[in-house]
Amino acid sequence: MLITDIKRVVEQISRDKGIDRNVLIQALEEALKSAARKKYGNTIDIEVQYNEDTGEIEVFQFMEVVATKDDITEPDIQITLEQGLKLDPDCEVGDSLGTKMDTATFGRIAAQSAKQVIIQKMKDAERDVVFSNYIDRKGEIINGIVQRIDRRDIIVNLGNTEAVLPVREQVPRETYRRGDRIRAYIMDVLYESRGPQIVLSRTHSEFLVHLFRTEVPEISEGIVTIMGAVREAGVRAKIAVASNDSDIDPVGACVGMKGSRVQNVVQELRGEKIDIITWHVDPAKFVCNALAPAEIARVIIDEENRTMEVIVPDEFLSIAIGKRGQNVRLASKLTEWHLDVISEEKYNQAMQDGYKSLEALPDVDTGLAGVLFEKGVHSAKILSRAPIEELLQINGIEDEKQATTLVEAAEQWVIEDAERKAAEAERAAAEAEAEKAAAEQAAQEEAAAEAEAVEEKASTQETDAEGTDAAAAESETKDEGTDEATAEPETKDEGTDEAAAEPETKDEGTDEATAEPETKDEGTDEAAAEPETKDEGTDEATDEPETKNEVTNEDTQAKTAADEDALTVDDAENSESAITEEDNPPEPEK
């Protein structure tokens, strides 16, 4: 046999996997049949039976008895009468004889085929068991552990199977990691070939309802009933409750002592705000409760279209609408009415415009306009859609002809009003287009002016840079001249020292006086040579006008040389005067 002690193995797998015992036996029978056909072909006639007494699976091959070999057309399923008598002495032509097959002769390939069949059958059985277990739990809350995240979908381990929390059913601001515990609502159970898919949700409104049922005993007991719940997951939710006992406040029962019950729900929803309101049988009062804490001034109900026009004071308009229309949107979903919230000022203005439109119709005086307004015909637009039968019941409308005339006049007024509004819209659009074109032109002019200013600024900066470079060059030239002029006093000091040394001895003074003409002549020669130096500087300045700095340096040098020659001549004259005074002292006074 392929499997020893089959009975014990079947019972153990049935307990562990929760699979029916008959399903496992049927899988084994089909596996052995598949193995036999793999070995002997698909044409043989095989039957597989499970023996409850021995706990074994027996395989039988059936063959038809024919008279002679000439009558055999299918050798796999036919034998001769002679062969049949050896198996069963009582057999006759046309009988079907079954022989037990030895499964040990099936071979390795047949065994692998049987193994695949058994595995596939067990998977199908497990899938059916999981589906049958969870299909009845649809709509319940279940706990699990985050196993992995696949393409932003969270795979949750439920113990004996896996569930998926799609990204569309996740609260936007919630994040999970592997190993985190998660609580979700079983939204759907799908039967697929790869296995049952359990779809979870944390954004479904029923998830909020089941959380309140868990936290509030009055709801589970049936004293308090949840009439409806709507959510914008992660932001805000509204839930309507009613009580079957007049002594129990449904809102207080849901809130709990110091808000303990509702706080548990809020923590599970990660801080989502929850409005608990009282359900009322009157739709208008129910809508007023749903729009709380805004105060409602008036409610106009249109039961045919299931719409309500809610008029609120101007200071409560933003509260009634809510952030981005959230409050009125949730209230509309909860009450299942289409809500149109407007302020009192806008409503009064609309009523005035409607009354004026009635007065503007021909054959409608002030009295008839007032009667129509009181009967709910607040504007010419409403009058154009009013049935003739209802108009005939209004005082002031005598016959069907007058009613028809009023309706036709109202329809004409509506058409003209639509044309007038269309013309105003076109004019406004044309003005807006003209303003846009003017703005674009002004922007282009401003951009051109900025570009021109930038170019002018760049040009000015270039001019200033050139002037700065020239001034720097002049400053360098002036510094060089100052350095040369600073060196002149040294020459003068040397001449002074020589003059001071002259009167040391009279004889030396005489000798120097004798030598003075030579010194004077030398000074004269140097002074005479000065014009030549100046002329040379002038010629060089004339011949080389390429750079202003070179000319300036040469003139400065020529001037410095001339000053030195002049100083030499003056020193010589001073020395001569000093000697003369010493040789010819002044005569004493008589």
Q: What are the domain boundaries of the chain?
A: 6-131, 488-582
Residue with tokens 């009523």: 351
Distance of alpha carbon 384 from alpha carbon 369, whole angstroms = 14
**DSSP H stretches of helix in 247-325:** 250-255, 260-268, 283-290, 317-321
Distance of alpha carbon 128 from alpha carbon 440, whole angstroms = 70
Cα–Cα distance list, 311 to 160, 347, 548 (Å): 56, 7, 92
DSSP state of 341: E
pLDDT at residue 274 tops 50: yes
Q: Which option is the CATH number for 6-131: 3.40.50.2300, 3.30.1480.10, 3.40.50.720, 3.40.640.10?
A: 3.30.1480.10
Listed range (40-54, 106-120, 321-335, 488-502) with the worst mean pLDDT: 488-502
pLDDT at residue 507 tops 50: no
Provide the whole-model pTM.
0.56
Collapsing DSSP to helix, strand or coil, 239 comes out as strand
Q: What pLDDT, on the 0 to 100 scale, is given for residue 328?
A: 92
pLDDT at residue 548 tops 80: no
What integer is the mean pLDDT of 112-128? 76
Q: Which two tokens stand for residue 283?
A: 């739709």
Q: What pLDDT digit, counting tens, does each position of 158-173 carry? A: 887 889 999 999 998 8
Q: What pLDDT, on the 0 to 100 scale, is given for residue 581?
A: 42
What integer is the mean pLDDT of 139-160? 89
Q: What pLDDT, on the 0 to 100 scale, is given for residue 332?
A: 93
Distance of alpha carbon 398 from alpha carbon 391, whole angstroms = 9
Give every CB contact of residue 363 below 8 A, 6+ residues apart in sequence: 402, 405, 406, 409
pLDDT at residue 119 tops 80: no
Q: What pLDDT, on the 0 to 100 scale, is given for residue 387?
A: 80
Q: What pLDDT digit, counting tens, does each position of 520-540 carry? A: 444 334 333 343 434 444 343
pLDDT band for 186, please (50, 70, 90 cuts).
very high
pLDDT at residue 289 tops 70: yes
Q: Which two tokens stand for residue 339?
A: 């809500």
What integer is the mean pLDDT of 102-119? 71
pLDDT band for 509, please (50, 70, 90 cuts).
very low
Other Cβ atoms within 10 Å of 259 Cβ, number: 11
Q: What pLDDT, on the 0 to 100 scale, is given for residue 107?
A: 66
pLDDT band for 480, please (50, 70, 90 cuts).
low
Q: What pLDDT, on the 0 to 100 scale, is given for residue 20?
A: 73
